[in-house]
Amino acid sequence: MAPSALSLPTSVSDEKYANVKWEELGFGFCRTDNMYVAKCKHGESFQEGKIVPYADLHISPCSAVLNYGQGLYEGLKAYRTEDGRIVLFRPDQNALRLQSGANRLCMPYPTVDQFVSAVKQVVLANKKWIPPPGRGTLYIRPILFGSGPILGSLPVPEYTFTVFACPVGRYHKDNAGLNLKIEDKFRRAFPSGTGGVKSITNYSPVWITLAEAKAQGFSDVLFLDAATGKNVEELFASNVFIVKGNVVSTPEISGTILPGVTRKSVIELTGDFGYKVEERVVPVEDLLDAEEVFCTGTAAIVTTIASVTFKEKKTEFQTGDKTLAAKLFATLTDIQMGRVEDKKGWIVELTDATKPGLKL
């Protein structure tokens, strides 16, 4: 859906870039100018929302999200290409994943067109915050949650869909590769739970393990399955891949692993490179026997894993410019940054609605 009100708010400056030290940009919150808000009553469908100045949301202390954790979020990026275009990467896939999660958490949801339109509006309303080419990206965070008050049983009287954005740099800045700890006590997700959707309840319960790992000098945590404790699943916020010869394996989507958009894209690119790709159960032993290991995600992109430590034993893997991870990173970012032709149809180009050539 392409709403009629896609021109930028009058409060948005024509200045090309915000006053940001791009070379110091990390992966963290940075307040920008505008956000999108839409609301939906119980039994109704989401209608077109609006762009408003970035501000705190007013919410009932008895809201479903605060009391029962009824909420989802998505994450995607906008890129400024070297020839001056602003593009998104597969936003429809994030919309579909949000819908899947909303069904799981008993919430209404925006249509794919509404989702993508909201993302586009937020990007254009904050375009001066999109970093220069090669200096970062604009990270976009859509959130869907139960905002109405509820105490006890359903229905929730109101839902809110909001989207904000902030400029970010690399999530993992260690180009030498990550050093992971395999967590053998705590579990990230459970069968028939919410590990396969981006529920807001999936993350803080395992912050304790991530904090402990980082205090021990590790980059991140790799979690095992809850059913057996013998198979690898994913990192805190990334999918994992292993390489052995010409075979690339990644844990299959079984309800406890998030179906990452980058994961899906990497599987396709890896097949294009001539590798055999397997989505399967991956025992810890297979990981430890791999030649190369890497992780994928919107934030992580494609990041080499240099080592894992399991039960105090460290295992190292191939790193460097000749790895599959390096090739995938270069190929994926070339597509995202418009340096090569997008033959997959993954890129969605944006044009300022106040100027000729609108592509929204």
Distance CA 279, CA 263 (A): 11
Question: How many helical (H) and strand (E) elements, i.e. helices and strands, does the chain have?
Answer: 7, 17
Pairing outcome for strands 301-310 and 313-316: antiparallel
Distance CA 179, CA 218 (A): 5
Whether 325 and 272 have beta carbons less than 8 Å apart is answered as no
Distance CA 353, CA 89 (A): 19
Residue 360 exposed, middle or buried by CB count within 10 Å (0-12, 13-18, 19+): middle
Distance CA 141, CA 159 (A): 17
Residue 159 bridge partners (DSSP): 40, 146
Among the options 77, 120, 127, 198, which is catalytic? 198
* 198 is annotated as an active-site residue: yes
Tokens of 278: 């397997």
- Greatest distance between any 2 Cα atoms in the chain: 61
Residues designated catalytic:
198
